[in-house]
Amino acid sequence: MAEETVKDLKDLGAATDVAPKAEEAKADAPAAKAEKKEPKIDKLGRAYATGRRKESVARVWLKKGKGQVIVNGKPQDQYFCRQTHLLVMNQPFLIVDRVNAFDVIATVKGGGMSGQAGAVRHGISRALENIEPELRPSLKKAGMLTRDARVVERKKIGKHKARRSKQWAKR
């Protein structure tokens, strides 16, 4: 009986040894979160990011400059003819008050103009986060860093489109 109590005490001692280690790990966790993220910039002073929307994929390079935006080798107002596409694309700069502070070079493939504008917006947002990590909370709150997962629904068999049924006549 005495041997069992000694064994139980040893087990309790082992358990108490584990508890302080867990507390130390918890104490270190907030310190790890408090560390500031480093900007991800290449040798030329550019930040790179990929943006996606529908079927479009945009590769975006961002660097400090005068606000010049080039999409597939053309200025933004020549590539995107609609004003709404230009507004969508430049939303991240408006949100973080960095209008005309960065030059953007983007290449976009796939999809239509609306999807491409959304893809460039997503890419610009992610590149802004890479170049200035402290902008992340405001971009995240505005929903700029979240990839819009909505895509076209597939056509079903026996239907005209994804949901449009054939016309039905009662008589």
Q: Could you report the per-residue pLDDT of 110-120, keeping only the tens digit for each?
A: 999 999 999 99
Q: How far apart are CA 145 and CA 126, in angstroms?
A: 6
pLDDT at 85 over 90: yes
Mean pLDDT of 58-73: 94
- Cβ neighbourhood burial of 80 (10 Å; 0-12, 13-18, 19+): buried
pLDDT in tens, 132-146: 999 999 999 999 999
Q: pTM score, two decimals? A: 0.76
Contact 136, 38 (CB under 8 A): no
Full set of structural domains in the chain with CATH? 47-142 (3.30.230.10)
- Which pLDDT score, from 0 to 100, does residue 53 have? 95
Handedness of CA 157, 159, 162, 168 (dihedral sign): negative
Q: How far apart are CA 125 and CA 91, in angstroms?
A: 9
